[in-house]
Amino acid sequence: FPSDVEREFKAAGYTRVVNKAANGVGGGGFQNLSEAADLYERDWRVILLINSRLLGTKEEVGSTGVLNTSNHWVGLNSSIVVNTFRNNALVYPFEVYSWNRIVSVPTWRKPLPFATLDLSYFGFVAGKY
């Protein structure tokens, strides 16, 4: 749960902690992702709450399950760049740390519509010493 991750940050000695993660239901939204990206740029440790299908193939990323819920935490490992043109936001590939390796989101390394990413994004928890 996001509250568990928040407690772990505090237990690790982070003096400032921001918890903007949903409890597993509903997308995180554009403003939420923008805030996570901004904190990362300001040297905060940022952990994203996602559905693991976001790390899959094009078909998996664009799909939804019976219940669209979170099931995986990943560490943000690079900047997130979003380009908006005519109200269509594209998220350029960025890196996360997952399952003991660096993974590109999306894995095929091409821009992804934000609306598609948001199907599997549920917010973040961030900390700074």
* Mean per-residue pLDDT, 50-59: 91
pLDDT digit string (tens) for 58-99? 888 877 666 678 999 999 999 999 998 888 899 999 999 999
Phi, psi (rounded to 5 degrees) for 128: -140, 140
Mean pLDDT of the chain: 92
- Backbone torsion region of residue 22, taken as left when φ is above 0, otherwise alpha when ψ lies between -120 and 50, otherwise beta: beta
Residue 51 to residue 24: CA distance in whole angstroms: 9
Confidence band, pLDDT 50/70/90 cuts, at residue 28 = confident
The pTM of this model reads: 0.92
Q: Where are the alpha helices (DSSP H) in 1-129?
A: 2-11, 30-41, 58-61, 114-118
In three-state secondary structure terms, 79 is coil
Q: CA 41, CA 69: separation in Å to the nearest integer?
A: 27
Strand-pair category, 121-128 with 45-50: antiparallel
Torsion of CA 18, 99, 12, 124, to 10 degrees: 0
